[in-house]
Structure 1
Amino acid sequence: MAGKSLIETRSIDYIPERERHGRLFSQFTLWFGANLQITAIVTGALAVVLGGDVFWSLIGLLIGQVFGGLVMALHGAQGPKLGLPQMISSRVQFGVFGAVIPLILVCVMYIGFNATGTVLAGQAVSQLLSVSETAGILIFAAVIIGLTVCGYRVIHVLGKAASVIGMLAFAYLFVRLLSMNDIGALLDNRHFAWSSFLLAVSLSASWQIAFGPYVADYSRYLPSDTSSLKTFFAVGLGSVIGSQASMVLGVFAAALAGKAFSGQPVAYIVGLGASGLMASALFFSVALGKVTISTLNAYGSFMCIATIISGFRGHLTITRVQRLVFVLAIVGLSTGLALAGQHSFLAAFKSFLLFLLAFFTPWSAINLVDYYCITRERYDIPALSDPDGRYGRWNWTGIGVYAFGVLVQMPFIDSGFYSGPLVEKLGGVDISWLVGLLLPAILYFFLARRDASHVPAQLVLPVRS
C-alpha cells in the first residue's frame, strides 16, 4: 500500500483515507526540530546586529513569533481536512492557471532559503569533517537530495531526531552561556526605539509567515477527522517554541560577540559550548538542524513545480525517476547560489527575508480568509484539476486583490532591495507586513462574499478516496 512505503509514492495527489496515518505529536516535533537551527539563531541575532538592545529585541521577537505563528498554524490546520499540499488549494482563490503566479514566487522563496541555509550548513559540515566549506556545501546538498526523494515519512522521522538532538544541544549551550556570562547585565541595558523594536517583530513574524505556503504539505496525511484546533496548536506551538529558543540564543550570542558573530556564526555558536568531542557533537547538531529545514524547503519546491505543471496538463502522475530529476534541479540551483554567495551571507539574508514578505503576506491573507470565512472548508477537490470546472482558469478577484496587496506595501518596505517613500516619515519603521496582511484580507472578504456561486454545499472528494 502506498501509505506504508518508506519512499513516498504520491506527490500532489489527494491522500485517500486508507493511506492516512500519523499523530499530532509528530507535527509538533517536526516544526520544533525544524526551528532549532542555525539560521533561526542568525535571524534572532540580526535584531541586535542591526541596532536593537537585548531586552526589547527579545520582546519584539516573541510578539512577532506569536503573530506569525498564528498565520502559519492556520495554514497547517488545512492539511488533514483537504488531504492536499498547501499551494494547490490556491486554485480556489486564483483559478487553475492563475495559481501559477504565487507558485512561481514560492519556488523562488524555497530556493532562496535553501541557498542561504546551505551556506551555514556548509560551515558546520566543514568543521565536523575537516573539509573545505565548498566541500561541506556539496556534501550537505547530497544528503538533502536523498532525504527529499524519500519524502513524507522520512521527513517526519527526521523531525523527531532533530527535536531530541536539537533540544539537548540547545540546553547545553544555554547552560554554558548563562554560566559563563552576566546575562543580567545585558537585560538591564534597555533603550527602547520603535524602529529596532519593530524590526525584531518583523524578523520573527516573517520567519513564521514564510512557512505558510508549505506547512499543510506535512499535515495532509493525518486522518481527516483530526481536530483542526489540535492541529493548529501542535503545528503552531512547535514552530513558535523552537524558533523563539533559537532566536533568544542568537540575541545573546550577538550581544556578547559583537562583530565576531557576523563573520562565522556557526563557529562562534559552537565555540560557546566546548572543543574536541563536544564541539563535534554541536557541529553535528547544527548540520542536522539545517538538514531538516532544507529538506522541507526542497520537498516544498518539488510540490510547487509539480503543481505548476499539473495546472496546465491536468492530472499529473510523477514517477520516482521524474521526482529525482526535479529534486536534483531544485537542490542543484540552490547549491549553486550558495557557492556563489557564501562569503556575503548575513546582509543579503536580512534583505531577502524582509523583502520576501511583500509577496507572501497577501497570499496568506487571501487563502486564510477564503478557507475560513468564505468557503468554510467546502472545496471541490476534483475541480482543482479542471480549468473548465468550478474554479475556472483565472480568478480575477483573487489575482486583483493579490496584486493590490503587493503594491500597497511598497511605500512601507525598507530593505536592501528597495526602500519605500513612507519609511523615513515613519522613523525608519517597516510596517509593510501588517499592511500586506490586513488590507488584502478585508478587501478579499468583501469582494469574494458577493459571489459565492463557486462554493459547493459541502466538501467534494474524489470518487475513489
Structure 2
Amino acid sequence: MALDSSGNTQKKSLIETRSIDYIPESERHGHLLSQFTLWFGTNLQITAIVTGALAVVLGGDVFWSLFGLLIGQILGGSVMALHAAQGPHLGLPQMISSRVQFGVYGAVIPIVLVCVLYVGFSATGTVLAGQSIAKLLDTTNSTGILLFGALIVVLTLFGYRLIHLIGRAASVIGIIAFVYLFSSLVMQFNLTELLMNNRHFTLAHFLLAISLSASWQIAYGPYVADYSRYLPSTISPIKTFLAVGGGSVLGTQISMTLGVFAAALAGKQFAGNELNYIVSLGGTGIIASFLYFSIIFGKIIATTLNSYGSFMSIATIVSGFRGNRQISPVVRFIYIFSMVGLATGLALAGQYSFLTIFKSFILFLLAFFTPWSAINLVDYYWVTKGRYDLKALSDPNGRYGAWNKIGISTYVIGVVIQMPFLATGFYTGPMVAHLGDTDISWIIGLVIPGILYYFAMKKWPYEIPEKLILPDAVCVDEAVFEGSELQAS
C-alpha cells in the first residue's frame, strides 16, 4: 500500500503511473535482491553470449579473451553501478539528472544519443529473439520479429514492477539454461585442454576483449538508475552499488564465457549461425525448444529495459522544453510504440547482417557514452556530492540554466579527443595503427573529460545547494549520502 497526494491509502498497481517525475518516499519499495536478480537475469542472454564470442571470432584466443572480458566487466560494471547508486538518493531516472551538468535544454544532446543506444540494442536483440520465436512456432524470422516487437510494447506499458518480476523469472530460467549448456559442453568437450592450449597473447586482441565487455557494461549507465529509483532513500549507496554491479558483472561474465568456448569450438561455423549453434550444443527436440524459449525470455527482459529507457528519454526531452514531467497514458503509449516500432523496423532490415553490424555498433557507442558517464559521475560524487535542486531541473531560467557551457563543451571535447584512437567498422583513427591496431579510445573518453570537468567546475563554480532539494521544496538531510563509502572525500 502507498499514500496518494492527499494522504489516503491507495493500492499498489502492477501498471506504473509514474514516469520521469520524482518518486516520493511513500511510494518507495523493493529490496536489493531484486536489483541483483534484475541485472543478473538481464545479462544471462544470447546477445551477451555473442558479444563474448566476438573476442574469439575476431582473432583472440580462449585464455586471454576470458581474462580480458573479466577485466572489462569489472571496470565497466563499476562505472554502471556508480550510476545505479544515484537512483535511491535522487528518486529520478538517470538522464533527467544530466540537466545538472548540461542544462535543462543542453541535456537533450546526450539524451538523443542515448535514444540511439536503446534503439540499436533493441534492434539487435529483436533479431535474435525473432529467430528463436520463428524456430518455436515454425514461422518466418520476420514474423517472429514482429510478434516479439508487439510483446515488448505491452510489457513496457506496465513499467517498473513488471520489469522487476520478469527479471526474477529471467534469473531462474537463465540459470537453468546456462547450467545445462555448460554441463553439455563439459560432457562433450575437454574445456580444460581448450583453455590451456588455446593461448596466443596479443595486446590488440586482449584490449579488444576488455573493450567489448566494458562497453557492454557502460552502455547500461544511461538508464541503470531508472530501475533503482524506487528503492527507499535510506538504502546504503554502497549496497546498491554491490547489488547492481555484482548481478551485472556475474551474469555477463557467465554468458560471455559460454560465448568464448562456443566460438572456439565452432570455428568458422559460428559467424552467421550464432543462435542455432548455441542451441545445438544442448540438444534437439524438447531440450532445443526450452533453450529457444530461454533465449526469448532473456531477450524479453533486456529489450523491455531498452524500450522503457527510450520512453524515459523521449519524455525527458519533451518535458525539458514543455517544463513539466507528467506524461499521460496515451502519450506514454505513443512514445513506447514509436521507439519499439523503429527498433523492430531496423531489425527487419538488418536481420541478415547481425554480427558485423553489432560489433561495430557496440564499439562505436563508447565514444559517445564514456564522456557523458565521466562528467555525470564526477559531478555527482566529487563536485555537487549529490546535492541537487530537483525543482530547478525543470526550469531553464533556474539554477542550472538552459545550456551548461562547461558540461557541453567538455562532452564535445571528450568525444572528439577519442577519434584518433577509435577503431570500429564505421571509422578507424590515425593513431590506431601506431598502437598495434589497439583501440584505447574508451579509456581516454573516461579519464580526460572527467578531469577537465572537475577542474573547470573548480575554476567556474556555481552555487551548489547545501542539501538535496526535493520538488516540494523539502530539504533532505545529506547524512545518508555523505556516510556512504561511495562519496569522495
TM-score (norm 2): 0.94
Partners of 1:128 and 1:224 in 2: how far apart? 44
User: 2:464, 2:299 → 1: CA distance?
Assistant: 41
Q: Deviations 1:47-97 (Å, cap 9, x if unpaired)?
A: 000000000000000000000000000000000000000000000000000
Q: Is the 8 A contact 1:202 1:354 kept in 2?
A: yes
Tell me the equivalent position of 1:29.
37
Q: 1-side partners of 2:448 and 2:473: how far apart?
A: 40
Instruction: Provide Cα deviations, 1:78-128, integer angstroms capped at 9, x if missing partner.
Output: 000000000000000000000000000000110011111111111111111
Offset from partner CA, 1:229-253 (integer Å, 9 cap, x none): 0000000000000000000000000
- Hey, what does 1:269 align to over in structure 2? 278
Q: Take 2:272 and 2:444, find their aligned partners in 1: how far apart are those partners?
A: 34
Q: Is the 8 A contact 2:129 2:295 kept in 1?
A: yes
Asked whether the 8 Å contact 1:374–1:452 carries over to 2, the reply is no
Once the two structures are TM-superposed, the CA of residue 401 in structure 1 deviates from its matched residue by 0.4
1:368 aligns with 2:377: yes
1:440 matches 2:449 = yes
User: Once the 2 structures are TM-superposed, how far is the Cα of residue 449 of structure 1 from its aligned partner?
Assistant: 2.1
Q: Is the 8 A contact 2:45 2:299 kept in 1?
A: yes
Within the candidate set 109, 115, 132, 1:124 is matched to: 132
Q: Distance in 2 between matches of 1:320 and 1:395?
A: 32
Match of 1:190 among 192, 199, 202: 199
**Superposition map of 1:390-401 within 5 A:** 390-401=399-410
TM-score by length of 1: 0.99
Amino acid corresponding to residue 305 of structure 2 in structure 1: L
The residue number in structure 2 matching 1:107 is 115
Runs of 5+ in structure 1 lacking a partner?
none
> 5+ unaligned residues in a row in structure 2: which ranges?
5-10, 475-489
1:314 counterpart residue number: 323
Shift of 1:264: 2.0
Matches of 1:352 and 1:342 in 2, distance apart? 14
| Of 251, 258, 261, the match for 1:242 | 251
What SS does structure 2 have at the residue aligned with 1:262?
A: coil
Write the distance in 1 (CA, Å) between the matches of 2:199 and 2:299. Answer: 33
One-letter amino acid of the counterpart of residue 117, structure 1: G
Amino acid in structure 2 at the alignment position of 1:6 = L
Shift of 1:9: 0.4
**1:54 and 2:59 equivalent?**
no
Q: Is the partner of 1:53 in helix, strand or coil?
A: coil
How far off its partner does 1:464 sit? 7.5
* Structure 2 residue identity aligned to 1:229: I
Displacement, 1:178? 1.0
Correspondence for 1:389 among 394, 398, 409: 398
Question: For 1:161 and 1:94, how far apart are their aligned partners in 2?
Answer: 38
Asked if 2 retains the 8 angstrom alpha-carbon contact of 1:24 and 1:230, the reply is yes
- Residue 44, structure 1, aligned to residue 25, structure 2: no
Aligned equivalent of 1:417: 426
Q: Following the alignment from structure 1 to structure 2, what is the Cα–Cα distance between the partners of residues 108 and 20?
A: 30
Q: Distance in 1 between matches of 2:236 and 2:139?
A: 47
Alignment-derived partner of residue 408 in structure 1: 417
Q: Aligned to 1:258, what secondary structure does the other structure show?
A: helix
Residue 234 (structure 2) aligned to one of 217, 220, 225: 225
Give the aligned residue type for 1:315: N
Q: CA deviation at 1:290?
A: 0.3
Deviations 1:179-233 (A, max 9, x none): 1011122112211000000000000000000000000000000001111000000
Deviates more, 1:1-10 or 1:328-337: 1-10
What displacement does 1:454 show? 3.0
- Residue 453 of structure 1, CA deviation: 2.7
2:391/2:473 contact within 8 Å kept = no
Check if 1:335 corresponds to 2:344. Answer: yes
Matching residue of 2:168 = 160
| 8 Å contact from structure 2 (residues 33, 243) kept in 1 | yes
User: 1:13 corresponds to which residue?
Assistant: 21
Distance 1:97 1:12 in 2: 16
Aligned to 1:199: 208
Q: Which residue identity does 1:95 align to in structure 2?
A: G
* Secondary structure of 2:403's aligned partner: coil
Q: In 2, are the aligned partners of 1:195 and 1:429 still within 8 Å (CA)?
A: yes
Q: Is the 8 A contact 1:411 1:421 kept in 2?
A: yes
The one-letter code matched in structure 2 to 1:143 is L
User: What is the distance in 2 between the residues matched to 1:451 and 1:15?
Assistant: 32
The residue type paired with residue 87 of structure 1 is M
CA distance, structure 1, for counterparts of residue 158 and residue 67 of structure 2: 39
C-alpha separation in 2, matches of 1:462 and 1:112:
34
Question: Counterpart in 2 of 1:96?
Answer: 104
C-alpha distance in 2, partners of 1:278/1:115? 27
Does structure 2 conserve the Cα–Cα contact (< 8 Å) formed by 1:391 and 1:454? no
The Cα shift of 1:19 comes to 0.4
Whole-angstrom CA distance in 2 between matches of 1:316 and 1:398: 23
Instruction: Pick the aligned partner of 1:172 from 174, 180, 189.
Output: 180
Alignment partner, residue 294 of structure 2: 285
SS for the counterpart of 1:248 is helix
Q: Would you say how many aligned residue pairs link Structure 1 and Structure 2?
A: 465
Aligned residues with identical type, % of pairs: 66
